[in-house]
């Protein structure tokens, strides 16, 4: 009887050890993933800023192009 109990304790102890190791691995993985997520969020924020700058430049270029196309039309209209 006592031999069986010792064997069961040994099995439970091994299972506990295995589960604790797996838990530590998962916690380490979660920490690593959390760090990666924060880094990616920083990259995303930087890219969002760049996109806003590019969109502003495009809008400015469109305005300049519209002004350039209006000038000859206005000059021709004034001359006629």
**What's the CA gap between 28 and 59, in Å, rounded?**
47
**What's the CA gap between 53 and 47, in Å, rounded?**
10
**What's the CA gap between 61 and 65, in Å, rounded?**
6
Bigger pLDDT: 6 vs 42 = 42
Q: Name the band, by pLDDT with cuts 50, 70 and 90, for residue 73.
A: low
Tell me which DSSP letter residue 49 carries: H
Local structure of 22: helix, strand or coil: helix
User: What pLDDT, in 10s, does the model give residues 14-65?
Assistant: 999 999 999 999 999 999 999 999 999 999 999 999 999 999 999 999 999 9
For the question of whether the overall pTM of this predicted structure is more than 0.85, the answer is: no
């Amino acid at each position: 009887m006592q031999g069986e109990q010792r064997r069961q304790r040994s099995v439970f102890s091994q299972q506990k050890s295995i589960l604790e190791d797996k838990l530590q691995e998962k916690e380490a993985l979660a920490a690593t993933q959390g760090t990666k997520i924060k880094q990616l969020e920083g990259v995303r924020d930087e890219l969002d800023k760049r996109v806003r700058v590019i969109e502003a430049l495009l809008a400015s270029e469109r305005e300049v192009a519209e002004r350039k196309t209006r000038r000859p039309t206005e000059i021709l209209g004034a001359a006629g």
